[in-house]
Structures are given as structure tokens and as C-alpha cells.
Amino acid sequence: MTDKPQFVEERGQKVKLNNLCSRGKSSLRQKDVSNDGPYAVYGASGLVGTMASFQNAVPYVAVVKDGAGVGRASACEANTSVLGTMQALIPSEGIDRDYLLHLVRSLHLGDGFSGSTIPHIYFKDYGKLPVRLHSPAEQKRIVDIFASIERQIKVSKQQLDQLDFLVKSRFIEMFGDPIRNPLRMSVSSVEELAAPIKNSMKAGPFGSALKKEVYAESGYKVYGQEQVISGNQFLGNYYIDKEKYEQLNSCKVMPGDVLISLVGTVGKVLILSEDCQPGIINPRLVKITFDKRKIFPEYFAIAFSLESVRSSLLGRAHGQTMNVLNLGMIKKLKLPVPPISRQKEYLNFVAQVDKSRFVAQQQIEKLQMLYDSLAQEYFGD
């Protein structure tokens, strides 16, 4: 692991963020991406296609400005474009693009957003935030330090990818590919394997979305995309009171429920553990309660994550700037359903792989803590 370096330069002068960068172009919709040229177009989840032209001619930083992942910053190369859900930030003269990237990340622009309403952040607002400006030489030193940490994180993430590949390869070996090459065994739709599948798009007296005024400071948890995308059920600080909770029976969750994201970063899965907080799902999720006499939630989650299954579903997802899944797509998905004993055999194999996954994940968390500590030292007050 990289040792924490000694900080030698003065902490830098305070300036506003808009002194270090300006707004680039970011007006494309998903349907504008024609895939007719060599120039990349990026969205909140990465590359979304190509075009024959580009909007930003120099290397820049892109910030997710609305929806899931709001505030997340990434580096983009010259001669590329971003969707309208992103804000392109063009570095000013004398500002290293990657220095700007780490500085913007240190601002945690997405903090405080969760719940069912779509969050928005605007450069006209956060561009006024005070930040620290270091000399060009110090910018380079800071960038090199963060690059070293990120390389080590990348290695650990590659280990996780390899373990994930091992788990999925074993699934296909035992049960076949559900879409491309299913083995001869019982096949059932998700709808046949579960209790009635619910989401909160029509959440009783609260309409098609849980409005801000519904939320309370404590009470029953509201599970949203933040938890599902991160894989951490304990994140988030949105709640509803007991009275409203009792009116939303169809949206209530319990241990073992499978939550799936429907909008934006679609198809992400979270299985609620035994120590999950009582609560409900928000309108951007669907919950599935499987009959465990037929299928284990963990088996479903791995089957659902297979590339062929995701491609089949996402190929039918729709939307202008964000992908959208609907309940019908998920209910009709057919999966091989081996005997419970075979599912247990497979999940025992997965449990062994998870031990190695835990070690790699711990290394990533330690490196991320180092990154955050240095970001506070270099960019904080």
C-alpha cells in the first residue's frame, strides 16, 4: 500500500471552483447517440455509444448532475461528449485535468441526496464553492500520488472481477446459460417463482412517487437506488412514520427480499439480510419475495447478473436519457430452476469464493480510506 506522503507545500490559496474550470457542452439525449462515428459518448454509467462529431475538444471532468449517482465525477478524454445527465467541466489554463478530478471528488457534491425524487446539482451553484489551488508542480505531485492509489485499487478490483467470472462460469457449467444455451431442466418464469411482485409506482394514497413531505426524520426506512447500486442496505437517511408505513403494505420489505433498480442504473440487485431495517421501497425499485422451496434469492441474483440475461432485459429497456425497466420484463424472465439440493451445492461453492472476495474488498476499503484521508489533507479546510 502507498505510504501517506509528507505534505510540504503551503496548503494553497483559496479560490472559487469556477476559477479552475468552466462549463463544457453536455446537451445530448440518449436517442441522439447515433453510433455512426468514432467519437465516444459517455453517460452516468460509462460509455453509451459513439457519434460522428464531438462536443468537447480537450480533456475534461464529467459530473453526474441528476439521477442516481449524482455528484460522481469521472475523467473524459479529448474529442468526446457526455449526455445531458452529466456536466462537462473544462479545466482552466494551468489546471491539470486529473487534479481537477480529485478536487471535485473531494467536494462530495452528491452528499445528502436520496429518496424517490430525482436530485439535481448545477454548476452555477457548486461553481461558487471555495476550493484550494496548488501550484502546477504540486498539482502534478498530488495527481501522481492519487494515481498510485488508484492503480492498487484497480488491481484489487480486477481480482474481484476474476472471482465474479469464476462464480458465473461455474453457474453456466452446472445449469447452462438461461438465454443462449439452457441445459435440459425445469424452467420457470420469475412470476411463477415468487409472491406477487410489487413496486411503489402506485403507492396507495401517495400517488406515483413518495413526495418529500412524506418523509420523516426517523421511523421506517425507505430503500432506494442508493442502497441497491452500492450493495449496502444500511446507507440512506430517508424514513416514513408508522401511519404511512401501515398504508403502504404492497411496498413493505422483509429479510430475503430481492430489490432491483428500474431506472437509470437498471438491473442492479440487492438481497436484504436478516438484520435489515423494516421499511418500504421507493418508486425506482421493484421487490421480489421468492418461494424458497423453489429457488434461493442468492441463486436468482447470480442468474440475473449473467451477461446474456442483462443483455436480454436491457435490450428492451427504454427511455430518452435513462434506461427504464418495467415489471412485465422482469416477471416474464425465464430461468433454469434446478432442484434445491443442486442450488445449495452451487451456493456452497460461491461461499468459498466469497472468502477470497472479502480479502480483496478489504484491501479496496483500506486504499479508499487512504485516498479520502489525503483528499481531506490536500483539498480540505
* Cβ within 8 Å of residue 299, ≥6 positions away: 343, 346, 347
pLDDT band at 315 (very low <50, low <70, confident <90, very high): low
Query: And the C-alpha cell for 370?
Result: 487512504
CB atoms under 10 Å from CB of 380, counted, come to: 11
Strands 73-76 and 60-64: antiparallel
What is d(CA 271, CA 288) in angstroms, rounded to the nearest whole number? Answer: 10
* Cβ within 8 Å of residue 142, ≥6 positions away: 99, 102, 134, 378
Mean pLDDT over residues 164-192, rounded? 86
Mean pLDDT, all residues of the chain: 86
Supply the DSSP symbol for 277. Answer: P
Greatest mean pLDDT among 79-93, 194-208, 313-327: 79-93
Q: What is the pLDDT of residue 340?
A: 94
Q: What is the pLDDT of residue 330?
A: 86
Q: Is 195 helix (H, G, I), strand (E, B) or coil?
A: coil
Q: Is 125 helix (H, G, I), strand (E, B) or coil?
A: helix
What is d(CA 302, CA 351) in angstroms, rounded to the nearest whole number? Answer: 13
Q: What is the pLDDT of residue 3?
A: 46
Q: What is the pLDDT of residue 347?
A: 96
In 3D space, the residue among 151, 226, 207, 188 whose CA is nearest the CA of residue 334 turns out to be 188
- pTM exceeds 0.75, yes or no: no
Domains, the chain, in order of start with CATH, read: 13-133 (3.90.220.20), 186-337 (3.90.220.20)
Q: What is the dihedral of CA 56, 58, 62, 65, to 10 degrees?
A: -40
Mean pLDDT over residues 33-40, rounded? 91
**What are the residues facing 270 on neighbouring strands?**
259
44-79 residue pLDDT tens: 888 999 999 999 999 999 999 987 688 999 999 999
Is 89 in contact with 100 (CB distance < 8 Å)? yes
How many angstroms from the chain centroid is the CA of residue 13? 34
Integer CA distances (angstroms), 5 to 10, 371, 373, 379, in order: 14, 11, 11, 15
pLDDT at residue 331 greater than cutoff 50 = yes
Is 250 in contact with 238 (CB distance < 8 Å)? no
Of 182-191, 283-292, 345-354, the one with minimum mean pLDDT is: 182-191
Q: What is the pLDDT of residue 112?
A: 66
pLDDT at residue 24 greater than cutoff 90 = yes
Q: Is 311 helix (H, G, I), strand (E, B) or coil?
A: helix
Of 43-47, 102-106, 142-146, the one with minimum mean pLDDT is: 43-47
pLDDT at residue 107 greater than cutoff 60 = yes
111-138 residue pLDDT tens: 865 444 567 899 999 999 999 999 999 9
What is d(CA 313, CA 295) in angstroms, rounded to the nearest whole number? Answer: 20
How many angstroms from the chain centroid is the CA of residue 302? 17
Query: What is the percent of the chain with per-residue pLDDT over 90, rounded to a whole number?
Result: 52
Element (H, E) at 73: strand 73-76
pLDDT at residue 241 greater than cutoff 80 = yes
187-223 residue pLDDT tens: 888 999 988 876 654 544 444 446 655 777 888 998 9
Q: What is the pLDDT of residue 213?
A: 55
Strands 81-82 and 176-177: unpaired
Q: What is the dihedral of CA 374, 375, 378, 381, to 10 degrees?
A: -120
Strand boundaries in 142-211, DSSP class E: 176-177, 181-182, 187-189, 198-199
Burial of 25 (0-12, 13-18, 19+ CB in 10 A): middle
Gyration radius from the chain CA atoms: 23
Mean pLDDT over residues 20-42, rounded? 90
Burial of 226 (0-12, 13-18, 19+ CB in 10 A): buried
What is d(CA 225, CA 270) in angstroms, rounded to the nearest whole number? Answer: 10
Query: And the C-alpha cell for 326?
Result: 418495467
What is d(CA 288, CA 300) in angstroms, rounded to the nearest whole number? Answer: 10
